[in-house]
């Protein structure tokens, strides 16, 4: 996940995921991973620090992800599922297929998209 602009929707999604799997591991995209994908609004260190507070509160493991391709973290953590909110990127789907990982769509994500919030702010 990016967490470029952390919203209550992110927290709700993380709680929902944690209820599905108490062994939840959340990968947060680094600045390097965002290049060419999304504009970085909040620097990685700050996004990580904010999310670390929630990881301690909710009870999930937070890890960095240096690429949109989740292969490194898949090989390292061997998850049963990978979850996505508002859409799967091609590179994610390729990794899911390659490593035969089950997918899970986060149902709350569409209602709380930070990308949509950023678009609304730009219109102001």
Mean pLDDT of 24-52: 94
pLDDT of 29 over the 80 cut: yes
Task: Kindly report whether the global pTM for this prediction surpasses the value 0.95.
Answer: no
* Three-point CA angle 63, 22, 104, nearest 5°: 75
- In the chain, where the domains are located: 8-123
Region of poorest pLDDT, from 20-24, 40-44, 88-92, 114-118 = 114-118
| CATH number for region 8-123 | 3.40.50.620
- Say which residue the tokens 């590179």 belong to: 91
């Amino acid at each position: 996940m990016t967490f470029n602009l952390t919203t209550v929707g992110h927290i709700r999604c993380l709680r929902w995921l944690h209820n599905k799997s108490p062994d939840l591991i959340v990968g947060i995209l680094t600045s390097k991973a965002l290049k060419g994908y999304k504009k970085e609004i909040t620097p990685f260190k700050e996004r990580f620090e904010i999310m670390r507070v929630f990881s301690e509160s909710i009870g999930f493991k937070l890890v960095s992800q240096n690429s949109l391709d989740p292969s490194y973290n898949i090989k390292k953590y061997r998850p049963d599922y990978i979850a996505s909110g508002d859409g799967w990127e091609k590179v994610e789907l390729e990794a899911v297929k390659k490593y035969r990982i089950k997918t899970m769509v986060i149902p709350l994500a569409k209602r709380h998209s930070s990308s949509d919030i950023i678009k609304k702010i730009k219109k102001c």
